[in-house]
C-alpha cells in the first residue's frame, strides 16, 4: 500500500516539476516574441531580465525541478515499476511509440536544454539580438534547434496527454488539445529562426 502511494506521489511530483517547466516555456516563448519588435525591444528586455531580481531564483528553480524530474524518471524506469495504478497513464504513448524512442527523445531534449543554456550564458550583454541572429545563420545551429524543438514537442505531447487524461477529458479530445498547444508553442519558437532567415 505504502509502495503504491509512493508511486502515485512520485508521479504527482514529477507532473508538478513538469508543470513548472511548462509555465517557463510559455513565458519564454512570449518573451522571445519581443524579437519580432526589433533589436531595441529584444535587447532592452533581455538586458533588464538578466539583471532582474527573479533571474537567479528562476534558474535555481528550473535546475532543481529538471534534476528532480529526470532523476525520478530514471530511477522509476530502472526499478521497472509495475505497481497497480502505475500503468494507468501508459496506454497511449508507450504503445504507439516504443519506449526506446520515448527515452531517446527525452535524452535529446535534455542534451538540447543543456547545450542551449550554455550557449545563451556565453552571449555577451552587447547586442544579444545580433548574436541570436548570427547563431541562426549557421545551418548546423538550425539543425540543433529543429531537433531540440521536435524533442520538446514529443515530450510535451506525452506530458500534456497524461495531465489532461487525469483531469478526465475524453481521449480523442485530450489528444487534439495537446497537439494544438504543442503546435502553438513550436510555432512561436520556430518563428525566431524563420524571421532571421527571411530578414
Ligand atoms: C528558437 C528557439 C529559442 C530561442 C531563440 C531561445 C532564446 C533564448 C534566449 C535569448 C535566452 C536568454 C539569454 C539571456 O538570458 O541573455 C534563452 C535562455 C534560456 N532558454 Fe531559450 N530559446 C529557444 C528555445 C528554448 C527551448 C525550447 C527551451 C526549453 C525547452 C529553452 C530554455 C531556455 C533556458 C532554460 C534558458 C535559461 C534561462 C533564461 O535565461 O531564460 N529555450 N533562450
Question: Exposed, middle or buried by CB within 10 Å (0-12, 13-18, 19+), for 100?
Answer: exposed
Q: Is the CB of 123 under 6 A from ligand 1?
A: yes
Testing ligand 1's pocket by substitution, the residue of 19, 21, 28, 122 carrying the most ligand atoms inside 8 A of its CB is: 28
CA of residue 94 to ligand 1 center, whole Å: 29
What digits encode the pLDDT tens for the residues 84-97? 444 555 544 555 56
Domain range for 42: 2-197
Instruction: Please give the pLDDT value at position 1.
Output: 46
What digits encode the pLDDT tens for the residues 130-175? 999 999 999 999 999 999 999 999 999 999 988 888 777 777 788 8
pTM: 0.90
CA of residue 146 to ligand 1 center, whole Å: 14
* Number of structural domains in the chain: 1
Q: Position of cell 529543429?
A: 146
CA of residue 123 to ligand 1 center, whole Å: 11
Question: CA nearest 163: which of 3, 11, 9?
Answer: 11
In angstroms, the CA 20 to CA 9 distance is: 17
> Which residue's C-alpha comes closest to atom 34 of ligand 1?
117
Helix (H) or strand (E) holding 174: helix 171-197
> Which positions ≥6 away from 80 have C-beta within 8 Å?
none
Amino acid at each position: 500500500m505504502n509502495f503504491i502511494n509512493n508511486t502515485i506521489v512520485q508521479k504527482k511530483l514529477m507532473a508538478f516539476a513538469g508543470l513548472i517547466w511548462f509555465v517557463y516555456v510559455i513565458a519564454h516563448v512570449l518573451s522571445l516574441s519581443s524579437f519580432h519588435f526589433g533589436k531595441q525591444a529584444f535587447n532592452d528586455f533581455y538586458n533588464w531580465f538578466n539583471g532582474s531580481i527573479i533571474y537567479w531564483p528562476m534558474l535555481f528553480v528550473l535546475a532543481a525541478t529538471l534534476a528532480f524530474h529526470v532523476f525520478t524518471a530514471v530511477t522509476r524506469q530502472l526499478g521497472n515499476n509495475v505497481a497497480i495504478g502505475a500503468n494507468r497513464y501508459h496506454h497511449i504513448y508507450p504503445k504507439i511509440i516504443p519506449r526506446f524512442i520515448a527515452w531517446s527523445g527525452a535524452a535529446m531534449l535534455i542534451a538540447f536544454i543543456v547545450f542551449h543554456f550554455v550557449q545563451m550564458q556565453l552571449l555577451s550583454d552587447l547586442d544579444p539580438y545580433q548574436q541570436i541572429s548570427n547563431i541562426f545563420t549557421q545551418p548546423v545551429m538550425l539543425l540543433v534547434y529543429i531537433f531540440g524543438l521536435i524533442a520538446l514537442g514529443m515530450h510535451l505531447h506525452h506530458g500534456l496527454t497524461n495531465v489532461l487524461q487525469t483531469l478526465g477529458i475524453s481521449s480523442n479530445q485530450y489528444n487534439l488539445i495537446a497537439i494544438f498547444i504543442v503546435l502553438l508553442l513550436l510555432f512561436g519558437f520556430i518563428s525566431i529562426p524563420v524571421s532571421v532567415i527571411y530578414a
